[in-house]
Structure 1
Amino acid sequence: MIYWLGLYPAGISALSSSSNYIGSEVCKERELVSLPLPSNSIDVQAIEVKDIVKQEIIPVREITEREVKPLQDQYLKGFSSGKVNVHYPCLSIQGTFPDWLTGSLVQVGPLRFEVAQASAHYWLDGFAGIHRFTLNGSSVSYANTLLDTTYYKESCAKGTFSGLEPQKSKGSFFSRVASALSSAERPVYDNVNTNVMCHCGQLCAMAESSHSWVIQKDTLKNTQQVTYSDALDPQFICAHPHFDNTRGQWIGCGIKFGHTSEYIFYSLNSHSFERTVIARIASSYPTYLHSFGLTPDYIVLLEYPFTVNTYDLALNGKPFIQNFNWNAKQPTLITVIDRISGKKIATYKMPAVFALHQVNAYQMNQKIIIDIAAYSDASIIKALELGQMHGSQRTHFPCAYLTRYTLDLSNKKGQSATICPVALEMPDINQKYAHRSYKYVYGIGRTVQRPDVLADQLVKIDVTNGNVCIWHEPLSYPTQPTFVPSPNACSEDEGVILSTVLDGKTGMSYLVCLNAQDMKEIARAYVPGHIPFIMHGGFYSNF
């Protein structure tokens, strides 16, 4: 049974696994300034930070030496309800958006956190909303819609957040187990505030359950549920399916919980709603799986030691995510699966880490390279409780670092290395380079002096050498960057970055547009209100 699903990452704490470092210092204005590194760092070499900040520049030396100050701005507005069902046809613009940038940035996330007298306990318990920025030459508009999901309607009827407490089953121990694990008895969880995907010409909003909604283009309303024409019925759906441009198909993963649970990897052709099973991988204690890796020939399953006993899900009465437990003594298991036969090729035991997002994976000779945003443990889960954020003791968010695994298929040995000592989460790349060798990743990051925020800067990392570019404006809090390539681009990073930013000085939000090559600001469009922090989204030229 699924009661709470979906997570948002960002953070700040050093890795404690036995990874190596590629890069250790920041070169700014020809002066090398040491950054604090995890104690396990070796193979140190210089990396460059290019000069990219808006207005006030916070020098690297000041970042490392300044004392942490208490929150004194409107950052927490990002975790509070925004205005719903609004449409602003003409936003105020500073700068000039590129003429070629026409289309819509569509994002999902929690939009409302209260019902009757009840408030959401976790950040992603908030009711799902769709956000759309439409760009057309010199004009930018913004609209949002609070989605009319079953989760929302049931919560309104009950006056509390539906699904936060498990439904009590009556009867014997065995009947309660059977009821809890039965697909037929599962409550509907369709709070689709986690991700979006475009399939069969329709934009679909997703939760981490089997229930998704089609979003209407004109109104942004959820018009109909996505219905698959197959017999698969997983309780859990990985929120980050991959689209394979070469084969024209989605690759996704679901989990079926049972006495022996299983990961179900499947393909979905671009013009079909029938999923085809690629592989079923049994697991006694399944991990919390938010994303996985994909290459042209292989699926890469990462099982972190943040796992659940299925009978705890059934019987102990806790919300879904609270049933998972962290075990630092257990390894991270990385299993490589053949995409054609569905057979396991190899399983690699690596130091214990936790991650929500993989960045990219590809093949090189007889090796698989997979990059993730890795935490030292799963404490980010606890940090996302709203009570922690609004309490007298501010949450200190753990930090994820860009970490590379090299898996040798010939000798079945694996290695790990942390590429850059700058925090990175919510990664995005040029999707033309998905599943192939690439150079750049973009994400949200965080300065050392603000451990109480998810993110206060946007970062660009060169994965080949650890070089990093940073956009930072004091008291501004960006959300996941979206890379949009320029027409007829000649290089991987030729394009722009779009991100929704909360201005902590005014409590309002704006859309920022950066040059993806040097991370300098091109333009921004102001929204007359605040937008709660979003989860994921994408840029669509025809939506």
Structure 2
Amino acid sequence: MVYRLRKHGSAAQMRFCRDVNARSGNYDFTVLCRNCDKESPDAKLCTLTGSVPEWLSGSIIYNGPGLNKFGDDEYKHAFDAAALLQKFNISKGDVTYANRYLRSKTFEQNSAAGKITKAEFGTPAPADKGMFSRLFDAMDTEKMFSDNTLVCVTEVNGKHYAMSETPFMTEIDTNTLETQEKVNINKLLGLMTQSPHPITDKKDGSTYTVGMAVGMMGPKYNILKFQAGENLKKAKVVASISSRWRMSPAYIHSLGMTENYVIVLEQPMACSVAEMTSNIVKNAAFIEGLQWHASEPVLFHVIDRRTWKRVNTRYIADPFFFIHIANSYEDGDHIVMDIPTYKDSSMLQSMFIKTIRDQKIKNDPEFGNSFKSYMHRVVIPLNTSGGGDNLISLEGSKCTATLKGTDVVLSPVQLSDVPMENPTVNPKIKTLKHRYIWAMGPDPQGGDLGFVAKVDTSSGETTKFSEAGLYPSEPVFIPKPNSTDEDDGVIAVLCIKSGDEKCVLLLILDAASMQEVARGTCSTPGSIPIPLHGHFIPIS
């Protein structure tokens, strides 16, 4: 079903929205923590309905949690399971599906031992490890961190890597999904964590990400550059920013980038070094060291890519939690950023598997609301010398930026009343001005379904595709060759069903109308969990 809503729309539109939201308690949260106990490495032909566009050819690879159990041990958080790579291949109108576990060192150790052998985001280290053994492991990233790179697949200089927030990048064979070489960024450049969402410069092909390192003066955020055409191991740090708190660096999952700037958002969700150390002694999980500072602002660090110097202006905004950034671009003397934001970080706590499976909590509005993030626009004025009530001079912009002492206070504007996450734009205009954003949505009060949404940032209209029992993952925009319109292409998205754990399908939507074009459906021997992020690889 496709329907459209304008932000703060008509009474009929808003009544429809309220009617949908009234059907609470049916949302299937367990799609987040299914256990795929049997992989399907051999490609299977999908049952096709509709017609795949003749021009559409290539592979879509998703990464995300897959195997929740080793022996009698089960992971505790939805972000912990062993990575499962899932691939749809599209060729000559046909669609095939395959999946394979990522053979990380952690996976191999767990499989050999028949139990969980290493801590993950929400699962502590095995209890049979003593305190001194855990402290010793903390001195070596290979022992301290799991190399279970379960978040995304990204391309760097023609090779494809599975990534997570740890300092590891695992090369994969995109034809077979087999695991190849692992690169440890910590050993190369000292990063303890890194964003799993690098951004590639369209001009020279270099790729950038942000990571956290610890120096003599405390934690710092390093901008990492993978030079186009060079080996990954020749990456270098091009800029550094000190953390505002010497013992509590911020949790950073994504960065923003435009043609001339990199933007690092230092949100008030911080990793307490003291708590992390205490947790090693107490054998608590990494998540237990994260602290939400509700009274502290978000800091926007703007770095000029031409000099790799930070802009002196201190930009701040009222506290919010975020994981992803849809896109950032320059418009005159302004930077525009579109970000799905949460009111706080409670969503991370809501994703413990025991909580997700609790049938009673499904009707708790507070639990459901913790999963809701809303797309907001932030405008950063680069010229702050004018003064006045609003430093933003963009025509039609409803965002404001005011000077308060030496700070520029940014006030975001909500773009849609529809909650959404995992946003994407047409990859041809990443870092450039966009009009449309596509995203997926969990709406826990919206019944037994998820949805795919398209936001028109100019008109304020949001178009949604949804179907009872269907749970889409991250939408992947694939532009039509030689297209000139921003939304001329298709949205391809892996979906699973609430009523059939062994059913997986590729849904193909017309990106402009959000109408279904085709779908390829496959039955699998193992349960299929919803993945985190997808990546399209065109056939050369």
| CA shift digits 1:328-380 (9 cap, x unpaired) | 11111111112233222122121010000011111112111111110000011
Please give the residue correspondences for 1:423-434 in structure 2 after superposition, counting only pairs within 5 Å. Answer: 423-434=419-430
Q: Distance in 2 between matches of 1:75 and 1:276?
A: 41
Say which of 532, 535, 539 aligns to 1:538: 535
- What's the counterpart of residue 337 of structure 1? 303
* SS of corresponding position for 1:94: strand
Say which of 240, 251, 254 aligns to 1:288: 251
Q: Distance in 1 between matches of 2:529 and 2:329?
A: 34
Please give the residue correspondences for 1:181-260 in structure 2 after superposition, counting only pairs within 5 Å. Answer: 182-183=139-140, 186-226=143-183, 231-257=188-214, 260=218
Is the Cα–Cα contact under 8 Å of residues 408 and 414 in structure 1 kept in the other structure? no
Is the Cα–Cα contact under 8 Å of residues 293 and 300 in structure 1 kept in the other structure? yes
- What's the counterpart of residue 396 of structure 2? none
Is it true that 1:470 corresponds to 2:464 in the alignment?
Answer: yes
Is the Cα–Cα contact under 8 Å of residues 120 and 161 in structure 1 kept in the other structure? no
- What's the counterpart of residue 415 of structure 2? 419
- What's the counterpart of residue 513 of structure 2? 518
RMSD: 2.5
Q: 1:313 to 1:525 in 2, by over 3 A?
A: same
Please give the residue correspondences for 1:319-338 in structure 2 after superposition, counting only pairs within 5 Å. Answer: 319-338=285-304
Is the Cα–Cα contact under 8 Å of residues 248 and 270 in structure 1 kept in the other structure? yes
Mean alpha-carbon deviation: is it higher for 231-240 or for 101-110?
Answer: 231-240
Q: What is the identity percentage for the equivalent residue pairs of Structure 1 and Structure 2?
A: 24
Say which of 469, 473, 482 aligns to 1:488: 482
- What's the counterpart of residue 405 of structure 2? none
Is it true that 1:165 corresponds to 2:124 in the alignment?
Answer: yes
Please give the residue correspondences for 1:268-283 in structure 2 after superposition, counting only pairs within 5 Å. Answer: 268-272=226-230, 273=232, 274-283=234-243
Is the Cα–Cα contact under 8 Å of residues 338 and 377 in structure 2 kept in the other structure? yes
Q: Distance in 1 between matches of 2:141 and 2:436?
A: 45
| CA shift digits 1:419-443 (9 cap, x unpaired) | 1111110111101111111100001
* Structure 1 residues without counterparts, runs of 5 or longer: 1-21, 36-58
Say which of 384, 400, 420 aligns to 2:373: 400
Is the Cα–Cα contact under 8 Å of residues 419 and 465 in structure 1 kept in the other structure? no
1:223 CA displacement:
1.8
Q: Distance in 2 between matches of 1:489 and 1:286?
A: 43
Mean alpha-carbon deviation: is it higher for 118-127 or for 338-347?
Answer: 338-347
Q: 1:115 to 1:181 in 2, by over 3 A?
A: closer
Is the Cα–Cα contact under 8 Å of residues 199 and 271 in structure 1 kept in the other structure? no
1:169 CA displacement:
4.7
Q: Distance in 2 between matches of 1:506 and 1:165?
A: 31
| CA shift digits 1:248-304 (9 cap, x unpaired) | 100111112467111111211122221122211111221111101111111111111
Is the Cα–Cα contact under 8 Å of residues 63 and 534 in structure 2 kept in the other structure? yes
Q: 1:293 to 1:124 in 2, by over 3 A?
A: same
Is the Cα–Cα contact under 8 Å of residues 241 and 250 in structure 1 kept in the other structure? yes
Is the Cα–Cα contact under 8 Å of residues 156 and 226 in structure 2 kept in the other structure? no
Could you state the TM-score of these two structures normalised by the residue count of structure 2? Answer: 0.84
- What's the counterpart of residue 56 of structure 1? none
Is it true that 1:316 corresponds to 2:270 in the alignment?
Answer: no
Mean alpha-carbon deviation: is it higher for 492-501 or for 383-392?
Answer: 383-392
* Structure 2 residues without counterparts, runs of 5 or longer: 385-407
Equivalent position amino acid for 1:199 in 2 = V
Q: Distance in 1 between matches of 2:94 and 2:249?
A: 48
Is the Cα–Cα contact under 8 Å of residues 6 and 462 in structure 2 kept in the other structure? no
Equivalent position amino acid for 2:289 in 1 = N
* SS of corresponding position for 2:455: strand
Q: Distance in 2 between matches of 1:286 and 1:205?
A: 24
- What's the counterpart of residue 345 of structure 2? 378
Q: Distance in 2 between matches of 1:479 and 1:449?
A: 18
Is it true that 1:118 corresponds to 2:73 in the alignment?
Answer: yes
Equivalent position amino acid for 2:274 in 1 = Y
| CA shift digits 1:57-98 (9 cap, x unpaired) | xx545315x342345xx6625521223133243111111111
Equivalent position amino acid for 1:430 in 2 = N
Is the Cα–Cα contact under 8 Å of residues 279 and 286 in structure 2 kept in the other structure? no
Equivalent position amino acid for 1:475 in 2 = G
- What's the counterpart of residue 39 of structure 1? none
Is the Cα–Cα contact under 8 Å of residues 75 and 477 in structure 1 kept in the other structure? no
Is the Cα–Cα contact under 8 Å of residues 181 and 257 in structure 1 kept in the other structure? no
Q: Distance in 1 between matches of 2:186 and 2:107?
A: 26
1:181 CA displacement:
6.2
Q: Distance in 1 between matches of 2:514 and 2:446?
A: 21
Is the Cα–Cα contact under 8 Å of residues 444 and 456 in structure 1 kept in the other structure? yes
* SS of corresponding position for 1:34: helix
- What's the counterpart of residue 33 of structure 2? 79
The structure that is helix-richer by fraction is: 2
- What's the counterpart of residue 390 of structure 2? none
Equivalent position amino acid for 1:265 in 2 = I
Is the Cα–Cα contact under 8 Å of residues 125 and 161 in structure 1 kept in the other structure? no
Is it true that 1:360 corresponds to 2:288 in the alignment?
Answer: no
Could you state the TM-score of these two structures normalised by the residue count of structure 1? Answer: 0.84
Q: 1:142 to 1:118 in 2, by over 3 A?
A: same
1:383 CA displacement:
1.4
1:315 CA displacement:
2.5
Is it true that 1:505 corresponds to 2:517 in the alignment?
Answer: no
Q: Which has the higher contact order (CA 8 A, sep 6+)?
A: 1
1:199 CA displacement:
2.0
Q: 1:123 to 1:61 in 2, by over 3 A?
A: closer
Please give the residue correspondences for 1:12-91 in structure 2 after superposition, counting only pairs within 5 Å. Answer: 24-26=7-9, 32-34=12-14, 59-60=16-17, 62-64=19-21, 66-70=22-26, 76-82=30-36, 83-91=38-46
Say which of 85, 93, 98 aligns to 2:48: 93
Q: Distance in 1 between matches of 2:305 and 2:137?
A: 32
Q: 1:212 to 1:154 in 2, by over 3 A?
A: same
Is the Cα–Cα contact under 8 Å of residues 428 and 443 in structure 1 kept in the other structure? yes
Is the Cα–Cα contact under 8 Å of residues 369 and 404 in structure 1 kept in the other structure? yes
Is the Cα–Cα contact under 8 Å of residues 103 and 136 in structure 1 kept in the other structure? yes
Is the Cα–Cα contact under 8 Å of residues 167 and 185 in structure 2 kept in the other structure? no
